[in-house]
Amino acid sequence: MKNTKKTIGVVPRGTRHAANGEAAAAGAAVRTVNLREREQSLQVVGQPATVGAIGAGHTLVLVHEGHYFYLDDDRLYVDAGTLLLTLAGEWVDIKTVGSWIVVVTTTALHVLVARGDTYVEMDASQALPSITVTEQILPPLSATVPPFTFAEPYRQWQAPLADADVRSLTTLLRGVAGGLSTDAADAGTLAAPVLVRWGVRLWDDSYLWMSAPRRLGDATLANADRITAPVVIDGDRFAGTLAATMPLARYKPKVTVEGGVPADWRPWVKAIDVFATAPAPLFAASRVLEYRCLTRTVGDRTYELEMGLRRTDAASIEHSLNTSDWHLVATATDVANLRPDAFVPPEQPVTITNARCAALAQARMLPLPTCVATAGGRLYSADATGLVSQSLPGNPWVTARRSTIVGVRPLALAAVSRPLYSGGFGRYPVYVFTTDGIYALPQSAQGTMGEARLVARAVIAAGTQPVEAHRDVYFTTRQGHLCRLRASEVSVAVGHARVVQMAWNEDQAELWMLDESGTTHVLQPEAGSTYERTLLLNQLYSDARAAVAVDRGGRILDLEHEQPATQPVTYRSHPVLLDRHGPCRPYGVVWNIVGDDVHLTVEVQGGRGIWRHDFALSRHTLDGEQHLPLPLPLTSEPLRTVLLGVEGEAVAGTLLLPVQLVVTCEP
């Protein structure tokens, strides 16, 4: 039988780990340097553009709208050495939330905002005007209780009165008291105790602060006092009562302004709002008549009926006020010129439940977090007790929701900003990396969080941070594996990588990794391969807007913008199996390299097995422009496998295209 000649197409690929090299895809590399896998080829990478610099020993912590924040010991600087903060406690993190920058240490939380060419610290306590809400006592109202005729005259003036008279008198007093209360309300006044508080409303209609409740109107408790009506005597019978006067004490809340909103906070404060509860009920729900039949013997003997509706006891009044909803009664939107007459009734009724109002009053009373993350404009934080908090969108001042994971200590947070459609944790889960494993907090598009559930027992390595990449989250385990978390599944992306820092390059869809030895590798998730960069880096950083690195000279490099440069390149393939049935005799190789200025040595090595690839079949050097296929002969005894190699320098953009191997196989 004749020998068979065949052509094997080998597509150069990035680095892929394989315990058995012959099982790797043809063209998969043992090592690639400065070669990015692209569409059935390898492409020489460019040099990241230099966009700034920081001093030796400084740590870049944030990139914000072209400004670079860095740490020097306990001092936070921006750009060319502008000192922003001297920090107390250990550093935790820094995040951007809307137009705010949140700096977290173990002892304090600072919030910065841009002002001109610099940044200033904002203190929420400085946003509070000096306001007091008191009561203004008004002249009382009064109404006449008309004369009343008993159904049947009484022979003796003593209790009890007939049931019919009690019911009629109850209706009479109820009507008079109700009419007075209506008149007081129509006049914009109050005739019973209320609780009042005031709050600072921000631009997004959230409340930065709520004052403690204050009780007003205790003087109106006298409105439940009894009235006294003279008794009409007809002969020797008691026939009814004469007219009497029922008074009604009233008041209205009064706002005293001692100091307005400071100028620094005026752009952020929308209004100062005054809230009040519903007036406390002064009369018992049954409104049973309470009365006494009086006989006065001082001077001329007189007879009187002292009567009134049954009062609500003090404990019930207090309970009613403490559980009542809160209603917006006045608002002032001209915070630059805050004065008493600036408070006007609201255009639309606003009611806040008692529980919600209590939550607003404590929205900023949070323990200091041990880790933070941002996504969707929200700030997520977790403290040492497992309490996970979520801020309002674009507003780090106000906490919208909280959830607790019991019995764990959070180490890091990651929030997915792109929707997931599987996994059972909602479209935007929040992942909490703890000492007990990874928990997921389901989260809807509106930010509603569900109950935390354990995803995996993997524990993140100390001192490292997870990085979000599209819908995945990458992290390093304490065993040193680089893992990918997708929805509810954890898989090893690169084993024993010992990655200490990562940055996601959105432009190239790559994950840059800096390991313990200081070597930089790049993972291409879509290709499932890695390659090595020859950059000497101290640090990697990325967020939703930037991906940068800091080299050992302090230069800040923009990973998403590469410039042309000549790069050292290396490509070493896994063994390429020539034929699964047995050895084949190499006949020739056709290299396909396209570039304007290349200085490369291409090589084919051969051997009979996995462990024998130590002799060259072909070695050729390329210099200058290269745009045509390069065929080279191969002469060798029959072999099982060959290795492909490329070494040298090439300009960015140079392509290493599929290689053609021609072999002769014996029958």
Which tens digit of pLDDT belongs to each residue from 568-601?
999 999 999 998 888 899 999 999 999 999 999 9
Mean pLDDT of 483-507: 94
Q: Verify that 391 and 376 share a domain, yes or no.
A: yes
Residue 369: C-alpha distances to residues 381, 396, 447 (Å): 6, 13, 19
- Whether residue 635 sits in one domain with residue 573: yes
Q: What mean pLDDT do residues 326-346 have? A: 93
High-pLDDT (> 90) share of the chain, %: 75
Domain boundary residue, one of 301, 329, 359? 359
* In a shared domain, residues 170 and 241: yes
Range of the domain at 400: 47-53+361-566
Query: Does residue 171 sit in the same domain as residue 246?
Result: yes
Please check whether residues 507 and 649 belong to one and the same domain: no
Q: For residue 652, give the CATH number of its domain.
A: 2.60.120
Q: Domain end: 308, 343, 359, which one?
A: 359
pLDDT tops 90 at residue 280: yes
Whether 336 and 387 share a structural domain: no
Asked if the structure places residue 58 within a domain, the reply is no
Of the chain, the percentage scoring pLDDT greater than 70 comes to 96
Mark which of 533, 566, 599 sits at the end of a domain.
Answer: 566
DSSP 382-401: E-TTSEEEEEETTEEEEEEE
Q: Take residue 555 and report the two structure tokens written for it.
A: 């230069």
Phi-psi region of 81 (alpha: psi -120 to 50; beta: other; left: phi over 0): left
Q: Is the pLDDT of residue 613 over 60?
A: no
Pair (227, 290) in one structural domain: yes
Within this chain, do residues 190 and 256 fall inside the same structural domain, yes or no?
Answer: yes
Structurally, the chain folds into a number of domains equal to: 4
Mean residue pLDDT across the chain: 91
Confidence tier at 364 by pLDDT (50, 70, 90):
low
User: Does 427 share its domain with 299?
Assistant: no
| 624-666 pLDDT, tens digit each | 999 999 999 998 888 889 999 999 999 999 999 999 999 998 7
State whether 535 and 647 are in the same domain. no
Task: Quote the CA–CA distance of 574 and 591 in Å, as a whole number.
Answer: 17
- Using CA atoms, how far residue 307 sits from 180, 304, 515, 598, in Å, is 17, 10, 88, 109
pLDDT at 45: 98
Counts for the chain of helices (H) and strands (E), in that order: 3, 52
Shared-domain flag, residues 319 and 408? no
Range of lowest pLDDT (306-315, 348-357, 476-485)? 348-357
Report how far residue 85's alpha carbon sits from residue 56's, in angstroms, rounded to the nearest whole number.
Answer: 19
- Provide the pLDDT confidence category of residue 422 given band limits of 50, 70 and 90: low
